[in-house]
Amino acid sequence: MKHITIDGRQLSYPGTGLFSDTVELLQTFQELGYASSISVFVEQEFNPSDWDLSHLDVQWIFVNVTRRNSALVRWLSKAMTVPEPIERLIWANCVVQQLKKFSTNSQHLIPYLYNYGDLKKNIAIVPDLLYRIVNEETLDPRRPWWWNLRYKLPLRVYFRRWEETLVAQAKYLIVHSNFVKNHAYQELNIPFDRMFLIPQGIPRWIVEKYDRDRDSLIKHQYFLPDRFVLYVGGFSPRKNIPLLLRACGRIYERDCAFRCVFVGLTEGFIQSGLGTPIREVMNNSSIRAAAVNLPKLSYSELASLYRLANFIVYPSLSEGFGLPILEAAAAGKLCLCGDNSSMREIQPNARYRLDSTDEDAWVEAILKFWQNPAETEIASQQCGELVRNYSWQKSAEKLWKLLQQ
pLDDT tier at 134, thresholds 50, 70, 90:
confident
**Residue 5, pLDDT score:** 98
Question: How many residues does this entry show for the chain?
Answer: 405
239 and 355 in contact (C-beta within 8 Å)?
no
Instruction: Point out the least confidently predicted range of 71-85, 166-180, 257-271, 328-342.
Output: 71-85
Average pLDDT for 282-297: 96
Residue 74 CA to residue 89 CA, distance in Å, equals 14
Q: Judging by DSSP bridges, how do beta strands 38-43 and 4-7 pair with one another?
A: parallel
Span 205-389: which CATH code? 3.40.50.2000
**Residue 278, pLDDT score:** 93
Residue 309 CA to residue 304 CA, distance in Å, equals 9
Percent of the chain, pLDDT > 90?
A: 80
- Indicate the average pLDDT of the chain: 92
Average pLDDT for 157-162: 86
pLDDT of 8 over the 60 cut = yes
Q: What single-letter DSSP state applies at residue 233?
A: S
**Short-list 257, 288, 253, CA closest to 270:** 288
pLDDT tier at 156, thresholds 50, 70, 90:
confident
**Residue 227, pLDDT score:** 97
**Residue 88, pLDDT score:** 87
pLDDT of 139 over the 70 cut = no
Spans of all domains in the chain: 4-201+391-403, 205-389
**Residue 151, pLDDT score:** 62
Average pLDDT for 384-404: 96
Average pLDDT for 7-31: 93
pLDDT of 78 over the 70 cut = no
- List, in order, residues 6 or more apart from 306 with CB less than 8 Å away: 206, 230, 232, 312, 327, 328, 330, 331, 333
Instruction: Point out the least confidently predicted range of 53-67, 277-291, 299-313.
Output: 53-67
pLDDT tier at 158, thresholds 50, 70, 90:
confident
**Short-list 248, 326, 264, CA closest to 301:** 264
Could you tell me which residue, 132 or 291, shows the higher pLDDT?
291
- pLDDT tens sequence across 55-70: 999 999 999 886 545 5
44 and 63 in contact (C-beta within 8 Å)?
yes
Please list the residues that pair with 38 across neighbouring strands: 4
pLDDT tier at 202, thresholds 50, 70, 90:
very high
Average pLDDT for 81-106: 86
pLDDT of 72 over the 70 cut = no
**Residue 276, pLDDT score:** 83
**Residue 350, pLDDT score:** 97
pLDDT of 304 over the 80 cut = yes
**Residue 220, pLDDT score:** 95
Could you tell me which residue, 98 or 136, shows the higher pLDDT?
98
Span 4-201+391-403: which CATH code? 3.40.50.2000
Query: Would you tell me how many other CB atoms lie within 10 Å of the CB of residue 149?
Result: 16
**Residue 106, pLDDT score:** 94
**Residue 21, pLDDT score:** 94
Average pLDDT for 264-288: 90
